[in-house]
Amino acid sequence: MQILHGILQDYAWGSTDGIPAVLGTEPTGSPQAEYWLGAHPKAPSELADGTTLDALLTAHPEQIGTANINRFGPRLPFLMKLLSAKQALSLQAHPSRAQAIEGFERENRDGIAMDAPERDYRDDWPKPEAVVALTEFHGLCGFRDPAETQALAAQLGVPALDQLFQPLVEADGIARVFLEILGIERLEDDLLPDVVAAAEKHAGDDSELGRFCDTIVELQRDYPGDPGVLAAMLLNRILLQPGDSFFMPAGNLHAYLRGTALEIMSNSDNVLRGGLTPKHVDVDELARVVDFMPGFPGLIDQVEVSPGVWRYPTQALEFALYRVGEADDQPLPAPGSARILLVIEGEVRLVGAEGELVLGRGESAFVPADEDVRVSCTGQAFLGGSALP
């Protein structure tokens, strides 16, 4: 096991203080949107001697774990992140494994450069995700019941919006309306100003209508004139309190609005965007990936696996997420898998056959698959590994 240093990403939507507050570092005044802990080639974490984690695992693939290699190949199957947003991220969905393999091979055949802005598939992996809120965390996740969306929109009193949303309750209505919105031209000169003006009258109200209008007003402020402002009206708005978590399977349309959270996902960078972004939006490919069935996957119920250690169970095989609380000499979960641990508060002691590590707030460690480790904790930490036995 070794000390591991994550890599900061300074995307413009990031907050300046959320990640420093978690890591115990000083804000720089610049956005710190994400902090990556993993072996993704875009931003691999670094070990104490300066070696990157992807280089270590290329040289010593046995540290990934036999079950992982047999199922996924010689690649760390998960990526952990801290994420802190001051404004909304793009509306987005991620492909299934079959969709990612097909899309990646198709774009390779078509000769689309890997760094081309119009490229949809950067690798052939899916990207299911789980999120744990570290602060109050606002987001959009999955499509709202279409009848409820119609009823909320009707209260705004904008006839053109009612007409746009009229097909929602038909069999394919969500897909039809969503794709029509993304195809609207001259949005700022047509429907959106009336919708925003009506929403401003109710924004801030402690009601379902108020939260519906909050989404419209906030997104128009951050992305004025973007069709994604209207598309976001079709989604469930969710509010997580610290400790709450949820899982997003392939095809789930979502967007994070604001707050700080810990994420774990498969080791992929495949994103199909649907608005709220200046980046490429491929409507046809997005339509093939998105699951248009309404519903919210629901919050994850933590399961205690040993005294002071809880798991967040999900459908994903590429990752498993654990929370370590007040624990005393417990087995570190996910034996047989490479693991990454991040300390959020207090102190963590890791003890293995080759020695021990003591980690404080904001520090991380990499634990190879072939090392049995026991953990003691006086605060809180998160551990990522694979879900394979």
Compute the average pLDDT of residues 334-345. 96
- Where a domain ends, among 239, 265, 299? 299
Residues 319 and 227 in one domain: no
293, 113 Cβ separation under 8 angstroms:
no
Residues 6+ apart with CB under 8 A from 140: 91, 215, 232, 235, 236, 237, 238, 253, 254, 255, 256, 257
User: Measured over all CA atoms, what is the biggest interatomic distance in the chain, rounded to whole angstroms?
Assistant: 70
Query: Do residue 237 and residue 284 come from a single domain?
Result: yes
**282 plus 307 within the same structural domain:** no
What amino acid positions are annotated as catalytic residues?
273
Q: 113-153, pLDDT tens digit by residue?
A: 999 999 999 999 999 999 999 999 999 999 999 999 999 99
Whichever domain contains 355, its CATH number is: 2.60.120.10
Residues 278 and 188 in one domain: yes
Instruction: Examine the fold and report which residue of 299, 334, 363 is the final residue of a domain before the chain moves on.
Output: 299
Distance (Å, rounded) from C-alpha 184 to C-alpha 196?
16
Flag whether pLDDT at 212 surpasses 90: yes
Structure tokens belonging to residue 291: 């699951």
pLDDT of residue 189: 63
Do 327 and 276 share a domain, yes or no? no
Provide the residue range defining the domain that includes 140: 88-299
Q: Nearest 10 degrees: CA dihedral of 257, 278, 174, 150? A: 60
Q: What residues does 333 pair with on adjacent strands? A: none
Mean pLDDT of 293-322: 95
pLDDT confidence of 190, banded at 50, 70, 90? confident
Q: What is the CATH number for 118?
A: 2.60.120
Q: CB–CB of 110/285 below 8 Å?
A: no
The domain boundary, picked from 299, 321, 337, lies at 299
Over residues 222-257, the pLDDT tens digits come to 999 999 999 999 999 999 999 999 999 999 999 999
Domain membership of residue 45 (yes or no) is no
Letter string b/e over residues 151-176, b meaning 16 or more CB atoms within 10 A of that residue's CB? ebbeebebeebeebbebbeeeebbbe
Closest CA to 367 of 36, 56, 42: 56
Q: Are residues 175 and 311 in the same domain?
A: no
Position of tokens 């003591």?
358
CA-based nearest residue to 262, from 240, 236, 232, 277: 240
- Which DSSP string do the residues of 149-218 spell out, in sequence order? HHHHHHTT--HHHHHHHGGGGSTTHHHHHHHHHHT-SSGGGTTHHHHHHHHHTTTT-SSHHHHHHHHHHH
Q: CB–CB of 385/333 below 8 Å?
A: yes
Within a domain: 30: no
Q: For 272-284, what is the mean pLDDT?
A: 92
Task: Return the bridge partners of 93, or none.
Answer: 272
The C-alpha atoms of residue 10 and residue 30 are separated, in whole angstroms, by 7
Examine residue 258 and state whether it is found in any structural domain, yes or no: yes
Does some domain include residue 39?
no
Residue 5 lies in a domain: no
The answer to whether residues 138 and 286 belong to one domain is yes
- Which long-range CB contacts under 8 A does 296-304 form with residues at least 24 apart? 296/141, 296/142, 296/236, 296/238, 296/246, 297/141, 297/142, 297/246, 297/247, 297/248, 297/249, 297/252, 298/246, 299/240, 299/244, 299/245, 299/246, 300/130, 300/245, 300/246, 300/247, 302/245
Give the mean pLDDT of 165-176: 95
Q: Does 185 have pLDDT greater than 70? A: no
Considering the domain boundaries, does residue 78 fall inside one?
A: no
Q: Are residues 279 and 331 in the same domain?
A: no
Q: How many domains does the chain have?
A: 2
If you average pLDDT over every residue of the chain, what do you get? 95
Q: Residue 193: which pLDDT band, with cuts at 50, 70 and 90?
A: very high
User: What would the mean pLDDT of 334-356 be, rounded to a whole number?
Assistant: 95
Query: What number of other Cβ atoms are within 10 A of residue 314's Cβ?
Result: 22
Shared domain for 274 and 316, answered yes or no, is no
289 shares a domain with 320: no
Encode pLDDT of 2-42 as tens digits.
999 999 999 999 999 999 999 999 999 999 999 999 999 99
Amino acid at 377: C
**Among positive and negative, which fits the CA dihedral 216, 191, 227, 30?**
negative
- pLDDT score at 186: 55
pLDDT higher than 80, residue 258? yes
Percent of the chain with pLDDT over 90: 94
Mean of pLDDT values over 354-363: 95
Are both 318 and 294 inside the same structural domain?
no
Query: Residue 79: inside a domain, yes or no?
Result: no
Q: What percent of the chain has pLDDT over 70?
A: 99
332 in the same domain as 276: no
On the question of pLDDT at 187 being above 60, the answer is no
**261 within domain boundaries:** yes
